[in-house]
Amino acid sequence: MDDRKKDVIRQTDAEAIRLAKTLLRSARFGALAVLEPQTGSPLASRVGVATDIDGAPLILVSMLSAHTPAMLADPRCSLLLGEPGKGDPLAHPRLTLICQALLLERGSDAHARAERRYLNRNPKARLYAGLGDFSIFRLEPQRASLNGGFGKAYLLERSDLVTVGPIVEELAASEQSALEHMNTDHLDAIAVYAHYYAGASAGGWGIAGLDADGMDLVSGDNVCRVFFPQPLVEVGELRPALVEMARVGRAAGQANNET
């Protein structure tokens, strides 16, 4: 092997995992690549995206779309996430997930949870989510590659992105009531989360999703990701974490106003 060639893949660390989770949780859409059944050729298309509580991507697709029968014929697929900004689009971070597509059966608990989370994140999809030819697929991540910008390439495993343990089901049972309570009674605290922890400038923020690592905030088409100081181990830690984050953010804002 040529000693002059350096391994371009960096060692995966906590910073890389957080960036990957940020791209995953904050994505509004992605490029889905599947294998065309008739030819085996790759087929890419744009899809709306949300995430399940554990971090697996969720997509809502029509049977009339070419990628849907392709996933049913061969569940192997790939999902590219990450929005380019100003300047060179290749200088902006992106995440490529290698997945297995799983069709969620209507009427199942898994489908109900996925539909709830997808519509909380993409409320305009309510116009067609209930139509008979639309289905929800859960994309089970197998592994991923993260490009954090020039010279910042990482390889990630499923365990780097997907949360496991009792906390997933515990949050699934209480998430919606917590969301409705926060979005009805504590918009001031949500504004603190957005401005202090995510550096967001827009107003009108609400919480679209809660998980063990943090929360997804939305304001119109704007999305931001806020992480808890420490991942939740049990659901009883959620309220204290939200209260303490609001207290710290308000105190920091007051200190800034006094200087």
**What is the distance between the alpha carbons of residues 227 and 105, in angstroms, rounded to a whole number?**
31
Q: DSSP assignment of 114-161, as one string?
A: HHHHHHHH-GGGGGTTTSTTEEEEEEEEEEEEEE-STT-EEEEEHHHH
For the domain covering 164-250, report its CATH number.
3.20.180.10
Q: Which pLDDT belongs to residue 2?
A: 46
Please check whether residue 62 is in contact with residue 71, taking contact to mean a CB–CB distance below 8 angstroms: no
Is 60 exceeded by the pLDDT of residue 4? no
- Over range 115-125, report the average pLDDT: 96
Whether 5 has a pLDDT exceeding 80, the answer reads no
C-alpha to C-alpha distance for 73 and 71, rounded to whole angstroms: 5
Q: Residue 148's pLDDT band (boundaries 50, 70, 90)?
A: confident
pLDDT of residue 6: 57
The reported pLDDT for the residue numbered 150 is 78
Average pLDDT estimate for 97-116: 97
Instruction: Return the pLDDT at 203.
Output: 87
pTM over cut 0.85: yes
- Where does CATH 3.20.180.10 sit in the chain? 164-250
Strand partners, 50: 58
**Where in the chain is CATH 2.30.110.10?**
1-162
Q: E strand or H helix at 98, and its extent?
A: strand 94-103
The CATH number given to 1-162 is: 2.30.110.10
| Maximum separation of any 2 CA atoms in the chain, in Å | 67
pLDDT at res. 87: 86
Q: What's the rounded mean pLDDT across residues 197-204?
A: 90
CA nearest to 77, candidates 5, 121, 137, 127: 137
pLDDT band at 83 (very low <50, low <70, confident <90, very high): confident
60-77: average pLDDT? 96
Is the confidence at residue 113, as pLDDT, over 80?
Answer: yes
Residue-wise pLDDT tens digits, 149-178: 878 899 999 999 999 999 999 999 999 999
39, burial (CB in 10 Å: exposed 0-12, middle 13-18, buried 19+):
exposed
